[in-house]
Structure 1
Amino acid sequence: MPEAPALVAAHGRATLLTPDGEVLTLTGSHIAEALGEYPPPFLVHAPATARRLDLPRFLDALDLLELFAFALPARHAAPTPRGLAQALDLPPPEDDEAAAALLPEIASRLLRALADEAGGPSGREAAGMAAQLAGAADWPWAASVLAALGQSDAKPSRDAFKPWRRLPDWEETAPPPPPSSFDVTGADARRRLAEMLGSGAEQRPQQADFASAAAHAFAPRDAEGAPHMVLAEAGTGTGKTLGYIAPASLWAERNGAPVWLSTYTRNLQRQIDQELMQLFPDPEERRARVAVRKGRENYLCLLNLDEALGQYGLRPMALPLALVARWAGATRDGDITGGDFPGWIGELFPPGTLYGLGDRRGECIRSACAHYKKCFVEHSIRRARTARLVVANHALVMVQAALGGGEDGKPTRYVFDEGHHLFDAADAAFSAELNGVETAELRRWLLGAEGGRSRAKGLRARIEELAGDIPELLPPLDLALREARCLPGGGWYARLTEGTPPPEDAVTEIFLHAARRQILARAPEDDGVYTLEVDLQPVAEEVAETGAALGRALQALEAPLTYLKELLAKRLEVPEGEGDEEMEVGERIRLETAMRGIERRALMPLAAWRGMLKQLDLPPREAGTRPLMVDWLQLDRREGRDVDAGLHRHWLDPTIPFARTVAGSAHGLLVTSATLTDAAKRHDPEAAWHEAEARSGALHLPNPAIRAAMPSPFDYATNTRTFVVTDVDARQPGAIASAMQQLFLASGGGGLGLFTAIRRLREVQARLGPALEARGIPLYAQHVDAMDNATLVDIFRAEENSCLLGTDAMRDGVDVPGRALRLLVFDRVPWPRRTILQRERRLYLSGGRPQDYDDTHARHKLRQAFGRLVRRADDRGVFVLLDRACPSRLLAGLPEGVTAQRVTLAQAVAGTRELLGLPAPMGSDAEEP
């Protein structure tokens, strides 16, 4: 064990336990002075610690997260002293002093875990890796790791960084037979649910009713294009996850085909996977019967890791690659954006360090890859083909449907959990953008890196690797690569964002510059900070002319690529009478891969862009006529800086393509959520269900949807309070900060503050953080702390008395049961953003009631947030809205039995203490932040 102090940070205050056992509380400049007197300290999450103490981001330290990731790869832990203690079955510390005292014990436990590997193959590889890190990265834990493994004289090993050497190969299986058509009745679903829960489980009638209703989605289809669609609203606490798993698993078993369980958020995807442990408690059986599927970009690419390891002698990359390699040898599925990969690993290093390890640029070369047989993506695809339940997400389901069916085949049965997000997911999946980033990405895919370090070999190298030396492919290939130079080349970003004239032959750039000028000329207001949008019509003459030239250039590029694809298709054909030998499977796969790449990465976006540009030739739409698509020009900004410009296109109603490509091709689908309908329309349930059907695509299907609703079993009237504060000016960050401080102190922490604007969140955090932490309540904030959203939620869940500030991402899909979330505060009414797309939808999708369209949007957000408060029957929580201008009609959407009270801040503070059972303090909490 190193002789080192232990450091725990709060905002502007540090607790330091010296090697002699002395506890120091430090503030301001004394922090840096004291740290300079000692060796690098034990701490947890060095970048976050540095930010809280206003120290250099990469201070020298013995970060326990690095040791945890090395010693216990693929293990979950919240990145705080308390989180690590819980993961190691240690008593969680009660305060910063106890946390500092615990850090050496945590280090000792982790080193003992490594000692258990000593002598085995894993231990030898760990020793070789640690020895390599001692020299390549001066890793401060290296000597301790080697001592724990009993191999202080171990030789450095580069092979230890190559996890593919010990990963299993995937194996191809025969195509599955067609599914059977056996029914699943409501009674069948109830019996399966009872078996899953066991005889001693709590009886929940609503859950059994839900399972029975969900079974209707698994009835045999009566006509092509006419699926059975069930819309099932299940209040929080119903137990809907197990409720739909019951009929889904039974149908899959009886019919020998998978059911796809789709969610909107990664959090729920992980929760469903965990719930399936009740159905398949044996890990091996669960692995065979359950597959988790995400987009290709979510998985670790072994070839990217291999190529990065070729450069890992560079000090900044050696340690992160070592931690990733350790994880890759232990992971269940290779998902580097969730699953068992600790999201905080990437936070410990410079931004973007791990970005290139996933296939985020579509560079996968499939069977030409040296690691193809070990590939995590290919493993997951093959597991999904033979699994009975596939846990996916809305984005993947819709993208695969838009592509005409994905690598996993085309399912016939779907369950869409978080169904209230179907509209948004379809909106993202079936939209298109013609901007600098998208067009430059296509050029890079076609021409390669054109300088710099990248594996982007370009289409020529890709075709040669996949299809071999085929002379007839060269002429169209050469022509396509020449025509691709119409797309933005090197330096386009600086030219566009700084307004520098593009080269004369840069057709795409010239159009984007013209679009930017139209945006700046017609924007109704420009504060220089936020993204700008303007209507496409009437089109400025410059935009029309440059758009027409770009359309011709894109058509000239599309033609040889189309011919190239046709030539590859002919190679796959085996003409009659020309030999009996069939093409080898490997060659066929390579040709199909090349064809698929050209179609999806080039021809599909080119067709979409040309369709968008054709709108420039059309006369402006007459006022009052309903559009099918909505087109606009947009200037993107980030942190007040222009970053891109272009033309955007969305469906006015994205459930039309959803119904056509996803629902219409299915045999049955269940759409479920706790908030499918607008609860404010309880008096008119037909109108409420009609809205739900409109936002789920049911209205575009021939069969009417089956409706089902199960109320929540929770006693909201007793266990919650809802306050609208009337004496706080929500326009003033200082007033919001003061109000949140008093409320968070009244609840003793466990508070989630939700904001409608990032700028206001940051202003409040700066005022609020030091004041709360001086009272022993840690404060974390999205867009401020050096952590991603999943890490922040993990910390909030583990640190029961902490508080968290966030925006929409912290409202959706966050499951924090128990006391860790007992107070939720909105800074303002979450009205929809004022955009061109929202303007058109409120006009044409509102049934002639635009204000009601806005109200419904806000009510759904408030209701979703309220649903975070009570996750178990014994949870208690307070919901506060600081916007005194909130109309009462918005609060009518909260659960039945909940009555909002308009009160002063002092009354809200007292009501919070009363519900949560906390005593009033001796002094005043109204300290100005």
Structure 2
Amino acid sequence: MMLGDHAEPRPGQADFASAATQAFAPRDVPNAPHIVLAEAGTGTGKTLGYIAPASLWAEKNDGPVWISTYTRHLQRQIEQELTRLYPEPTQRRQKAVIRKGRENYLCLLNFEDIVNIAKNRPPHERHMLIPLALLSRWADATSDGDVMGGDLPGWFGELFHHGLLSSIADRRGECIHSACPHYQSCFIEHSIRRARHADLVIANHALVLSQAAWNALLPQALAPANLSDENGIPTRYVFDEGHHIPAAADSAFSLTFSGLETAELRRWILGAEGGRSRARGLRRRMDDILERIPALQGPFQALIHATQQGLPRPSWSVRLQDARTQAAASPPEGQGTPSIAFPNVPSEAEAALDHPAEAFLFALDRQLQARVEEENTLKRGETSAYDRQECDLHPTQDALLPVTEKVLSALQAIAQPLDRIITLLSEQLEDQDDLDAAFQQRLEATIRSLHRRAFSRLQGWITMLRAITTPPNPHERPLYIDFIRRERLPALRGMDETHDITLNRHWVDPTMPFASTLQSTAHGLLVTSATLRDRSPDETDDDQWRKAEERLGTTHFLQPPFRASLMSPFDYAQQTRAYIITDLSGEIASLARAFQRLFETSGGGALGLFTAIRRLKEVHKRINEPLGLQGIPLFAQHIDAMDNATLVDVFRTEQHSCLLGTDAMRDGVDVPGEALRMVAFERTPWPRPDILHRERRRLLSGGRPRAYDDHITRMRLRQAFGRLIRRTDDYGVFVMLDNRMPSRLLSAFPEGVPVQRLGLEQAITDIKIFLKEREATQL
């Protein structure tokens, strides 16, 4: 029934489904979930292969299975596959739910606010009413209220600007839950409630791991038995595109202390402080609770005061930029009257930062600037494609230590009354049995919000900042990587650009917290992908599996995983060709000419992949018009205002178009048939040489740093090649425009793929012959 009458025969699909069932067996030992690692080559039919046992388990056990994938676009692909299992739309809506983060959905309260603002403006400033009227019509008809990749037309953001969509989504964490007048009709709450009763919840890795992290952080002493997470705690997971688990875990379990993060927390607590912001502060969101629980007034006032004193004030980035400019123009040491706290910094610059958090950010910036200048001096004029804007935290400059102590005191002054507020709310839940259901839900939601949005973040910052005063032991392997980074911000106050300064903490091995958070709650995990293992030519099959387990973190679980491998059914020797172009220079003009010639040769149906957004934009600028004159539309990620899912949909529909993209287009894009017959890669996708990569290569490579880099690159190439052949009648060519790609990476391509190193014109001649022959066989 699920396959339908016209489905392709896929012999490995039944074997895959059989292996997947191991993840749905009852647990034998507490805190030891069953784990299945199932590598399924492209074309195996793994989506329906795991949907079959997952849906059966959910139906028999009256509990949801959470299917997690890497991107929102892939969520939609899985949802489309469910039409086979649930062909009737009403049943499908009941049985399967897509879950995304709150920032993807229309917030009706935000929408009401912005409509009122637009209506009250002078007539000549009411242009916003047109897109708002269209959104109102859409809100009446939408199935889920998803403004970021749902059923809102992709042209909306391109026509009216994506900033409007961001302003009406729940991006600031200001939800007041049951106190909201739109609570009963809220799209987000509907999605959450439907997920509790669904058989299959289609989520993404970011949401699943962030929910797991929040569940782990919520102390049991502050959580009554009925204080459950808004999504519940699943026991069965399917991680599709499972090779992305380390990257998703890295993002979910990392910490960042920055100007933006701390200013956003201030805004979340205090609300708007002048300007045109519509931010609702904590007092406005908790008005009803403060009125019913008078004991909260004291700690609440202390929280407001500590926040005003301790977190960056409005326009913090302008002051930071001004201080940097003044410091750069300061007299050399020994001249003038420099600051005592910051040597060689003018007194007026330090005075502008007489604030704990802002002074701390300035000290981080000073250390970063000094280290970057030192590194540039050592390079002696050498150029690099990577513009380094980061440095190690340790060893720290002397000026950083005193301001660290001040900002720690400021953060603790905020955390203490916040902790008291959470405790009082929890006691209110425990002590009064006569609470009405609505107010009880209100208290539960408030406790969750305070913990997630503020208290746990403050605790993480305090722990990270305390490590500044304690240098790491060089004889011990660290758990974390701490570093400083400078990031660009939008231009403010007429300046060309401003910057944010971030202190970052990442786990050396992010799969450790991934395993620890899921081990106690999960009963079964299926991790599947076409690229779980690296096909290194000098490793045995067992070596490849062992390294895959280490990389995916299954070695941190109590029970070893069940392994399964299903080969792709495709005849790659007949269906594909691969070329490495040997005569291109590294110049943009040469690269653009190569892309244009290749896209003309394929007649469209080509995907161009880039390792850098800047190079993508430069190539697009040069080839967009020439291709258009030949009737070949060119679409591009980071240029066209459509979201990635819409771009892929348009590319799939316009069979003679071309698409340029970066990482998001390299992984998981499913474009079968004539719409994709060429993949051209701009250069070998080596890992970026940043601090995170340097430290992980040093600590996790087992003394083989080159092999570590090769593994990452081969996996990226395997994913890129996997976009090309999606069905048994597909055909196409893979072109690498980098003559420096070493032969040891060729094992990334499926067995049987003919690989040739040729000049561009010779390759184009060969491609023409191959495509013409394959096209003839399709007729």
CA distance in 2, matches of 1:912, 1:272: 33
Residue in 1 aligned with 2:343?
none
SS in 2 for 1:403: helix
Letter of the 1:470 partner, please give it: I
Shift of 1:470: 2.4
SS in 2 for 1:702: coil
Residue in 1 aligned with 2:221?
none
From 510, 525, 536, the counterpart of 2:376? 525
Q: Deviations over 1:426-483 (max 9, x none)?
A: 0000001000010001101111111134443322222223453422111111111111
From 663, 666, 680, the counterpart of 1:825? 680
Q: Is 1:433–2:267 an aligned residue pair? A: no
Letter of the 2:77 partner, please give it: Q
Residue in 1 aligned with 2:330?
none
Contact 1:363 1:455 (8 Å CA) reproduced: no
From 609, 616, 622, the counterpart of 1:767? 622
From 200, 203, 220, the counterpart of 2:9? 203
Q: Deviations over 1:410-435 (max 9, x none)?
A: 11100000101001000000001000
Residue in 2 aligned with 1:909?
764
Shift of 1:661: 0.5
Q: Is 1:494–2:318 an aligned residue pair? A: yes
SS in 2 for 1:354: helix
Letter of the 2:734 partner, please give it: F
Letter of the 1:291 partner, please give it: V
- C-alpha change, 1:291 and 1:786, in structure 2 (3 Å) is closer
SS in 2 for 1:666: coil
Q: Deviations over 1:615-655 (max 9, x none)?
A: 11112442x74210100001113699443102000000000
Q: Deviations over 1:6-50 (max 9, x none)?
A: xxxxxxxxxxxxxxxxxxxxxxxxxxxxxxxxxxxxxxxxxxxxx
Residue in 2 aligned with 1:484?
307
From 434, 438, 454, the counterpart of 1:582? 434
Q: Which moved more, 1:583-592 or 1:792-801?
A: 792-801
Residue in 2 aligned with 1:562?
419
From 89, 93, 112, the counterpart of 1:283? 89
Q: Which moved more, 1:332-341 or 1:682-691?
A: 682-691
Q: Is 1:308–2:114 an aligned residue pair? A: yes
Counterparts of 1:569-718 in structure 2 under 5 Å?
Answer: 569-574=426-431, 582-622=434-474, 625-637=476-488, 641-681=497-537, 683-718=539-574
- C-alpha change, 1:504 and 1:515, in structure 2 (3 Å) is closer
Letter of the 2:740 partner, please give it: A
Shift of 1:781: 2.2
From 432, 437, 442, the counterpart of 2:265? 442
Shift of 1:203: 3.3
SS in 2 for 1:615: helix
Gaps of 5+ in 2: 120-124, 217-228, 325-348, 378-382, 491-495
SS in 1 for 2:250: helix
CA distance in 2, matches of 1:203, 1:801: 28
Letter of the 2:61 partner, please give it: N
Residue in 2 aligned with 1:468?
291
Q: Deviations over 1:687-728 (max 9, x none)?
A: 111121112211001111000000111111111000011111
Residue in 2 aligned with 1:419?
242
SS in 2 for 1:231: strand
SS in 2 for 1:414: strand
Q: Is 1:870–2:748 an aligned residue pair? A: no
Residue in 2 aligned with 1:885?
740
Q: Is 1:404–2:215 an aligned residue pair? A: yes
Q: Is 1:536–2:388 an aligned residue pair? A: no
Contact 2:290 2:296 (8 Å CA) reproduced: no
From 661, 668, 690, the counterpart of 1:806? 661
Q: Is 1:224–2:30 an aligned residue pair? A: yes
SS in 2 for 1:312: helix
SS in 2 for 1:573: helix
Shift of 1:378: 0.9
Counterparts of 1:889-900 in structure 2 under 5 Å?
Answer: 889-900=744-755
User: Highest CA radius of gyration, 1 or 2?
Assistant: 1
CA distance in 1, matches of 2:729, 2:392: 51
CA distance in 1, matches of 2:353, 2:472: 30
Q: Deviations over 1:139-174 (max 9, x none)?
A: xxxxxxxxxxxxxxxxxxxxxxxxxxxxxxxxxxxx
Letter of the 2:545 partner, please give it: W
From 350, 373, 388, the counterpart of 2:199? 388
Contact 2:677 2:733 (8 Å CA) reproduced: yes
Counterparts of 1:129-528 in structure 2 under 5 Å?
Answer: 195-198=1-4, 201-313=7-119, 314-404=125-215, 406-485=229-308, 486-499=310-323, 501=349, 503-523=352-372, 524-525=375-376
Shift of 1:903: 1.0
Shift of 1:198: 4.6
Contact 2:718 2:748 (8 Å CA) reproduced: yes
From 400, 409, 421, the counterpart of 1:552? 409
From 693, 715, 721, the counterpart of 2:577? 721
Residue in 1 aligned with 2:599?
744
SS in 1 for 2:431: coil
Shift of 1:518: 0.7
Structure with more helix by fraction: 2
- C-alpha change, 1:531 and 1:368, in structure 2 (3 Å) is farther
CA distance in 2, matches of 1:382, 1:309: 27
Q: Deviations over 1:264-319 (max 9, x none)?
A: 11111001111111111111111111111111111111111111121233423111
CA distance in 2, matches of 1:784, 1:339: 20
CA distance in 2, matches of 1:681, 1:375: 54
- C-alpha change, 1:326 and 1:217, in structure 2 (3 Å) is same
CA distance in 2, matches of 1:466, 1:347: 41
CA distance in 2, matches of 1:861, 1:658: 22
Indicate the RMSD between aligned Cα atoms, in angstroms.
2.0
Letter of the 1:626 partner, please give it: R
Shift of 1:565: 1.1
Residue in 2 aligned with 1:50?
none
CA distance in 1, matches of 2:659, 2:236: 38
Q: Is 1:782–2:593 an aligned residue pair? A: no
Aligned length: 719
Q: Which moved more, 1:583-592 or 1:715-724?
A: 583-592
SS in 1 for 2:145: coil
Q: Deviations over 1:328-379 (max 9, x none)?
A: 1111111111121223212101451221111000011101100000001111
Contact 2:579 2:755 (8 Å CA) reproduced: yes
CA distance in 2, matches of 1:806, 1:750: 14
Q: Is 1:758–2:613 an aligned residue pair? A: yes
Contact 1:467 1:591 (8 Å CA) reproduced: no
SS in 2 for 1:648: strand
Shift of 1:679: 1.9
Structure 1 segments, 4+ long, off by >6 Å, are 526-529
SS in 2 for 1:449: coil
CA distance in 2, matches of 1:351, 1:211: 41
Shift of 1:582: 1.6
- C-alpha change, 1:282 and 1:788, in structure 2 (3 Å) is closer
- C-alpha change, 1:477 and 1:259, in structure 2 (3 Å) is same
Contact 1:635 1:646 (8 Å CA) reproduced: yes
Letter of the 1:478 partner, please give it: Q
SS in 1 for 2:118: coil
- C-alpha change, 1:199 and 1:737, in structure 2 (3 Å) is closer
- C-alpha change, 1:367 and 1:455, in structure 2 (3 Å) is farther
Tell me: higher relative CO, structure 1 or 2? Use CA pairs within 8 A at least 6 residues apart. 2
